[in-house]
Amino acid sequence: MWITSQRVFYAGLLGAAAERSIGGHGIYLSPTGAPLRIRIGGGAWQRGELMVVPPLVPHQIATDHRSILSLLIEPEFVDPAQMPEFLQRCGPVDAPAFVQRVRDVHALLAAASGRESFERFDFDTLLFDRPLAPRPLDPRIRSVIERINADPAAPASAGQCAASVTLSFSRFLHLFKQETGLTFRAFRAWKRARSLLRHVRQSATLTDIALDTGYPDSTHFSHSIRQVYGLRPSDILAGSRRLAVHQ
């Protein structure tokens, strides 16, 4: 797994995931050519090699094989109107050249893993052949986003964030949703759940990881993680024991 503040590339086990609601643009594809299955918001199952899901759209992903390739793009860092056309859809999409490119990148990264740092690789250039256009943001909202991304576990209420950029509470909430496409509450919840990815290889207890990622207790932690990833935290950690993580 390759994690940056703006992107994630994962190659590994899918697990028996229930419905999930990821806070970023989700891209799933088969590493072998075998079709994946996706169900959007409890609808009918659909099949394909490449699936695209916008942020916070509930979905369930399944495969007859154990492994999957997936990309995650944080919504506050990309202009959705400037993304490649096939990434602006929801559900199965037909983009065979992109599918092959991702598989080739996976092979390249797998060969480099364990032997070198990924610092020389540029995520967007490798996977999209060019940098994705950044999302224009109000400087006040950008400063709040930077604060949350720097420490997702820190307590940062909407009221505190509004005051820090001299906005009224209601104006801040409206502007945040307008600028990012997500409510402040959903954004905070997602960033906290996303931070779990940086802890998957730790030997700490679930309670310790829950506290380190900003959850008040292991019960709240488990419930929130299952809503986001469709898996229990214990299953995520168990499935990551042999996972190489590059940050």
Separation CA 233–CA 224 (nearest Å)? 9
Domain boundaries, the chain: 2-128, 139-181
Amino acid 124: pLDDT: 95
The CA distances from residue 220 to 22, 91, 126, 176, in Å, are: 17, 30, 37, 25
Amino acid 223: pLDDT: 93
- φ, ψ dihedrals at 127, nearest 5°: -95, -30
Residue 203: pLDDT over 80: no
Which tens digit of pLDDT belongs to each residue from 35-72?
999 999 989 999 999 999 999 999 999 998 888 999 99
Amino acid 160: pLDDT: 95
Residue 173, SS3 per DSSP: helix
Q: How confident is the model at residue 133 (pLDDT cuts 50, 70, 90)?
A: very high
Instruction: Report percent pLDDT > 70 for the chain.
Output: 100
Amino acid 242: pLDDT: 83
Say which CATH topology domain 2-128 has.
Jelly Rolls (2.60.120)
Phi-psi category of 43—alpha, beta or left, where left has phi over 0 and alpha has psi -120 to 50?
beta
